[in-house]
Amino acid sequence: MLPELTDRENQVLKLIADGLTNREISCSLTISESTVENHIHHIYEKIGTTNRAQAVAYAFRMNVILVGEIVENRGNPS
């Protein structure tokens, strides 16, 4: 059975997958960085991961996030 993430946790996970930092997520959702950190901690606990890469991989494996939902690539070389 899949752990149920809250709507906000799903939002945070999708923003992590978009490559946003905690600060960028907090600005995007107009919440504090510590609140973002709390959401991330809860996500990790619920899905049994310990870092962003594992959480994003889990989300793709379980179809929590679909490839078309990733908004932009923040790793563009400049």
pLDDT of residue 69: 62
- The pLDDT value recorded for residue 63 is 82
For every one of its 78 residues, what pLDDT tens digit does the chain have, with 9 covering 90 and above? 557 999 999 999 999 999 999 999 999 999 999 999 999 999 999 999 999 999 999 988 888 777 676 655 444 444
Residue extents of the structural domains in the chain: 7-67
Instruction: Please state, in angstroms and rounded to a whole number, the distance separating the CA atoms of residues 25 and 60.
Output: 19
Fold of 7-67: Arc Repressor Mutant, subunit A (1.10.10)
**Contact (Cβ atoms closer than 8 angstroms) between residue 55 and residue 49:** yes
Report the alpha-carbon distance of residue 30 to residue 10 in Å, rounded: 16
| pLDDT for res 77 | 43
In this structure, what DSSP letter does residue 5 have? Answer: P
Residue that the structure tokens 């890469």 belong to: 53
Global confidence as pTM: 0.81
